[in-house]
Amino acid sequence: MKSLRVVVRHLGGPEVLEIVQEEAPQPAPGELRVRTIAAGVSFAELLMREGIHPEKTTVPFTPGWDIVGIVDEAGEGASHTMVGQMVAALPIHGGYAQFICLPEGEFIPVPAGVDPVEAVSIVLNYVTAYQMMHRLGHASSGQRILVHGAAGGVGTALLQLGRLAGLEMYGTVSLAAHQIVSDLGATPIDYERVDFVDEIHRLTGNGVDVVFDGVGEANVWRSFQALRPAGRVIAYGFTSFLKKGQLAGGLRYRLRGILRPAWYAVRAFVSPGRRRILPYSIQYLKRWKPAWFREDLGALLELLRDGKIKPIVADRIPLTEARRAQELLGQGGVRGKLVLICNSLAGEEAIAEREQSL
């Protein structure tokens, strides 16, 4: 059976994304093969493509952090009862493909009736938001938060979860996306026209309890200045590497992205007011506390099933147009989550019928 996959053979811009056709992979012992329905497109994948993401990546590789699909084959020792089940996973590599094989323990069942495109929006974006808010930030009802990039995939996830938690919310965003942020229950701050630190202090009096900063570099210290006493900055991204629609590559940016936040964290620790800067990485926390990832993703998928959260899907783009999807994300201003459609759902019934006949 033939399968399509995106391959990066050398580092560079979107032009290095190559579509290859090959035989579908076979699951090894203990693995399940999944017919991928939806794969998320994330900023981390752009950084990995350029070779400036902290996650170690060796070429050639297939991008793709988060996937949702249907189990269609079980390897020796893996559970055949999973065949026909819709599942979600965070493989970090390999998602841009029509089929992917992973150890059975990597997959979390997706509740029946859930849109796989909305479900894949949960895997990376909402788990990131949930863990930053509750595992690291310990935000509680009545506290104030500031979300940078509030109209993006993680930003909208933070606002939806923050509203459920009863938080007072502020979000930096371009003027064109103010309505999105307002509709999610937050006060928009036009970062292009006002200084967000001054504006936060004007609106709140003494600052916020938690800032979620996916911008990185110097913005992290500016976020620190928006905190009230005992507040926390959760630093989790590097969108500052985006310059006029292009990623600024090179070792200099890799070192800046890692060393600057570390230096700011030290400065924060010795500053008065018990304010802190804390780094967050979903892949490192998943490796350190895998049970947390499973628990948090499972809980979020239930919230999705129950209609308590509703991911904003920016666009659904065919797998064969992965280059265009990354170009769109690299240009900035994407509202919500970009998703690649790798296969249709048409084969789900056939997979279930085949399993019943075994």
pLDDT digits (tens, 9 = 90+) for 18-46: 999 999 999 999 999 999 999 999 999 99
Query: 244: which residues sit within 8 A by CB, 6+ positions away?
Result: none
Is residue 69 classed as helix, strand or coil in its secondary structure?
A: strand
Per DSSP, the three-state class of 42 is coil
Identify the bridge partners of residue 145 per DSSP, sorted by sequence position.
Answer: 169, 210
**pLDDT given for residue 131 in this prediction:** 98
Q: Return the pLDDT at 51.
A: 85
Residue 116 pLDDT > 60: yes
Whether 280 shows a pLDDT value over 80: the answer reads: yes
At residue 272, the pLDDT reads: 79
The alpha carbons of the chain give a radius of gyration, in whole angstroms, of: 20
Please list, residue by residue across 283-317, b when 16 or more beta carbons sit within 10 angstroms of its beta carbon and e when fewer do: eebbeeeeeebeebbeebbebbbeeebebbbbeeb
18 contacts 320 by C-beta, under 8 angstroms = no
Q: Which one, of 280, 266, 276, 289, lies nearest residue 238 by Cα?
A: 280
Q: Nearest to residue 139, comparing CAs of 110, 114, 159? A: 159
Report the alpha-carbon distance of residue 15 to residue 323 in Å, rounded: 7
Run of H or E residues at 209: strand 208-213
Give 65 or 272, the one with higher predicted confidence: 65
Q: Is the pLDDT of residue 353 over 50?
A: no
Distances from the Cα of 337 to the Cα of 117, 237, 307, 333, angstroms: 9, 16, 18, 11
Give the residue-averaged pLDDT of 315-319.
97
* Averaged pLDDT for residues 282-296: 96
Place of tokens 């890799």: 254
CB 309 within 8 Å of CB 118? no
The pLDDT value given to residue 240: 62
Which domains are seen in the chain, by residue range? 2-121+289-357 (3.90.180.10), 122-284 (3.40.50.720)
Of the pLDDT bands very low, low, confident and very high (cuts 50, 70, 90), residue 356 is very low
pLDDT at residue 246 in the model:
56
Of 129, 126, 92, 87, residue with least CA distance to 104 = 87
3-state SS class at 207: coil
Tell me the C-alpha to C-alpha distance, in Å, between residue 330 and each of 35, 235, 333, 334: 27, 20, 9, 9
Question: How does 215-236 read in b/e, with b if 16+ C-beta sit within 10 Å?
Answer: bbbebbbbbbbbbbeebbbbbb
d(CA 98, CA 342) in angstroms, rounded, equals 5
Q: How far apart are CA 135 and CA 30, in angstroms?
A: 31
Phi-psi category of 244—alpha, beta or left, where left has phi over 0 and alpha has psi -120 to 50?
Answer: left
Is residue 39 within 8 A of residue 67, CB to CB? The reply is yes
| pTM for the structure as a whole | 0.92
Cβ atoms within 10 A of the Cβ of 40, count?
A: 27
